[in-house]
Amino acid sequence: MLRRSTLLKTRNFIQIFQLPSRFACIGALLLIQSFAWAEAVKSVTSDEGKEYETKELETLVIVGSKDEAFELEQSAAAVDVIDLKADQKLTADLSEVLSREPGIGIRRMGGLGSRERFSLNGLRDEQIRFFIDGIPLEMSGYTFGLSTIPVNLVQRADIYHGVVPIELGADALGGAVNFITDKGQEGTGGSISHMIGDFNTRRSTLSLNYADDSGFFSRLNGFYDYSENNYEVDVTIPSRLGKKVPYKARRFHDAYEGQGINVDFGYRKQSWADLFQVSLYSSEYDKEIQHNVSMSQVYGEATVERKSYGLNLKYKKRLMDDVSLSVTGGASEIKTYFLDIGEKIYLWNGEERTEEVPTPGEIEDACKCSYWRNNQYAIIHLDWSLAEDHTLDFSSAPTKHSQSSENHYLPSNLPDLLDVDRDMLSWVSGINYTLDIFDNKLQNQFFIKHYSQERGSAQLNTSTESNKNHESNVERMGWGNLVRYKFLDWLLGKVSYENATRLPSFVEVFGNAESIDANLDLKEESSDNYNLSLEIHGLNNDYGFWKASSNFFIRDIKDAIVLKVQNDFSVYENIAAADSRGFQVSGSWSSLEELLSIKANYTEFDFINRADTGTFAQTKNDRVANHPYKFINTSLGLKWLDIFTSYDVLKLNWNYRFVGEFELMPESYGSSQSKITIPTQESHSLAATYTKDIYSSIVSVTAEVQNLTDQKLYDHYGVQRPGRAFNFKTVIEF
């Protein structure tokens, strides 16, 4: 069982719902162009001298600002803008929803709360940066993976392919994902949701918003998640004679629990600020560890717990008619506790084996370890309109991490190799020039970036019993160019290039508390990134609403950072050279009344090792092992209006996902008969959502089946994912 009572945490979360109602408000609706009729009354006199009143209908035009998402799609940025509002009522988590989009692959080690690996156009893990409303994900309360971010709170996802705008202040190599949340800027209101499902899964969210005419606003978001993850897996256990026999086991040490709260408050439209916002957050996660990376060894006691606290500030101000300033900054603390002091060996049926372990610790040496990491960051962005159709942007983004750690299990008279102070300072700056000409048909963006990183570590040398210092410094430059041309209002062509650098992340260099060892000599990686795309947006005619895109991409990488698995632990290492080349295509159509909608996408690429030196040279020109290369997603949606009463809606959604088979080891290893492969994966989900307006609230109820055909699914070799699962979710918006 988890170390904290689920009942107690549930009670604490329920207290969130008892906050004063003044925090509530309805989220702001985006203004769109619309028409309204007004009556004008005139007095006229007839030929007989009698006076009559006549009414004339006048057309009033309400013009609103362009939608932010539409403007982003129309820009030169290599970006997919994914609308997630329809997914907010579904039971699928954010990882599952994103995995249905073109170019994206998400691999998981199990159910809710399990480790995830995100990939975009072949690049993965830390090569992709994540943000929430422009704030780095690690500076938020959602530090335990994408699936822990409540999908209810996310309006859309902006997915940048290979070329990242300077305003994000990121050194991403393969791209970035920026989640845009419901900011609830006007009025009062909110929403509440609760989901229950198989494997004793429960997820709840709460969102309250308040704003008044003075410009003051406040928002509160909270969540609570729990899952036993006790789904069945096909394994083996020893018989009485010691022979391994097949066994269908329920995972018994894989529970996950998470909870968190985020409070925003500030002012808008003031003389001293267009926006001033303070954000406070706190979150806590507990996760039991069931097995090693291949599910070949079972654990029954090891756990990891993570707590995070933080503060973020935002300030925006138009300094002059043609100059705008945006400053974002924050500080956070992440505390991780890793407990592995078990002295027993477990079987998949939950029983203990009779033999004794030589030393405590199921995974490695006994560890009752604490890690404290302090983080500070800032993003300063200045926008200057030089003249009509000419814009200059500046950005500067420093990020600092400091970590201390300790193994409390060791006696005081023994040296603690974990007792290390580690520091990392990364700084990314950029300048961007944007030109719009030919009546906005052609847009060009040219930018230059500067990267720097300083890192240091002081670790005990057991032979000399003194601290050994390890320091390194990095300085790099990069540049890029993006071009967009409008062939028609709805048909865009885009070409983009970036000579990008990515500085190693803190976890890649110094490891983590769970399964990744340190590599203090890890080098930065660089890449020449190319995109060529053709996109259709806003094509609406008598046959429905159409949207489509195609993107051909090349990522030519030097010193690529990859995760190399070594027994129960892993370490990040450099490949001298590698490249990813491929394409993605997607399309969607919906009828005029949106009664029927269809979406589909296809992604295929090759991620090839091109190393001439180092440990990877012996597999040159092989595909990088243990990496899926082909994805297909399709979905079908049906919608019916006024089914039982007025103002009700019934939606039916079906999703299909295909992942092609891939090899665990490099292609040149072994014969075709001895190769180990992860087989083709096919999965289906089916969801029905009923929505009804009840007084001033909108109530929706969803029933969803994940893995409808109950297939054996494996994102990683030997690690079985959950089978068929039934989930139910209720959302109330008020």
pLDDT tens digits, one per residue of 109-159: 999 999 899 999 999 888 999 999 999 999 998 988 898 899 988 999 999
**582 secondary structure, DSSP code:** E
More confident residue, 470 or 296: 296
Query: Is 57 a residue whose pLDDT tops 50?
Result: no
Position 24 confidence tier, pLDDT thresholds 50, 70, 90: very low
User: Quick check: 80 and 159 in contact, CB under 8 A?
Assistant: yes
User: Quick check: 139 and 309 in contact, CB under 8 A?
Assistant: no
Q: Which pLDDT does position 615 carry in this prediction?
A: 80
The highest-level CATH class for domain 6-26+66-733 is mainly beta
Q: What percent of the chain has a predicted confidence (pLDDT) above 70?
A: 88
pLDDT tens digits, one per residue of 83-120: 999 899 999 999 999 999 999 999 999 999 998 999 99
Q: Which residues of 90-110 are buried (b: 16+ CB within 10 A; e: fewer)?
A: bbbbbbbbbbbbbbbbbbbbb
More confident residue, 19 or 43: 43
DSSP string, 360-426: S-SSSS-EEEEEEEEEEEEEEEEEEEEETTEEEEEEEEEEEEEEEEEETTS-TTS--TT--EEEEEE
Provide CB contacts within 8 A for 271, sequence distance 6+. none
Q: Which pLDDT does position 64 carry in this prediction?
A: 36
User: 641: closest CA among 650, 653, 654, 631?
Assistant: 650
For residues 666 and 616, what is the distance between their CA atoms, to the nearest angstrom?
Answer: 10
Q: Give backbone dihedrals phi and psi of 441, rounded to 5 degrees, phi first.
A: -75, -35
pLDDT tens digits, one per residue of 488-526: 999 999 999 999 999 999 989 988 766 788 888 899 999
Q: Which pLDDT does position 61 carry in this prediction?
A: 37
Position 184 confidence tier, pLDDT thresholds 50, 70, 90: low
Q: Which pLDDT does position 125 carry in this prediction?
A: 86
Structural element, H or E, at residue 588 = strand 569-590
Q: For CA atoms 234, 236, 239, 244, give the dihedral sign.
A: positive
* HEC string for 107-152: EECCCCCCCEEEEECCEEHHHEEEEECCEEHHHCCCCCCHHHCCHH
Position 329 confidence tier, pLDDT thresholds 50, 70, 90: very high
Compute the mean pLDDT over every residue in the chain, rounded to the nearest whole number: 87
For residues 180 and 160, what is the distance between their CA atoms, to the nearest angstrom?
Answer: 13
Q: What is the pTM of this model?
A: 0.87
Q: Which pLDDT does position 33 carry in this prediction?
A: 28
Mean pLDDT of the region 400-412: 90
Provide CB contacts within 8 A for 708, sequence distance 6+. 683, 684, 685, 686, 724
Query: Is 7 a residue whose pLDDT tops 50?
Result: no
Domain layout of the chain by residue ranges:
6-26+66-733
Position 459 confidence tier, pLDDT thresholds 50, 70, 90: low
Query: Is 463 a residue whose pLDDT tops 50?
Result: yes
Mean pLDDT of the region 248-265: 96
Position 414 confidence tier, pLDDT thresholds 50, 70, 90: confident
Count CB-CB contacts under 10 A for residue 183. 16
